[in-house]
Amino acid sequence: MAKKEQINVTLIRSPIGTQPKHKECIRGLGLKRMHQTVTLEDTPSVRGMVNKVYYMVRVEEV
């Protein structure tokens, strides 16, 4: 069984003052606080949300 690829996503900028859809993407990624890191599966839907809010998050391959 192949190991699933994962990424670490860290919120590095506050979503205050951003577009509502960008705030929804941040919540959809599971981020609630500044400098919080979550580990997610590397899927096209997750990558799409990360690309939408690229200026607020840092992504690292696991």
The sheet with strand 6-11 has its strands ordered as: 37-41, 6-11, 57-61
User: What is the rounded CA–CA span in Å between residue 16 and residue 33?
Assistant: 11
Domain boundaries, the chain: 6-61
pLDDT of residue 1: 57
CATH 3.30.9.10 fits 6-61, yes or no: no
Taking the whole predicted model, whether its pTM rises above 0.85 is answered as yes
The pLDDT of residue 55 is above 90: yes
pLDDT at 31: 98
Strand bridging mode 6-11 / 37-41: antiparallel
Q: What is the pLDDT of residue 2?
A: 62
What's the rounded Cα separation, in Å, for the pair 39 and 21?
A: 22
Note the pLDDT tens digit of each residue in 1-50.
Answer: 567 899 999 999 999 999 999 999 999 999 999 999 999 999 999 999 99
The Cα–Cα gap between 35 and 33 comes to: 6
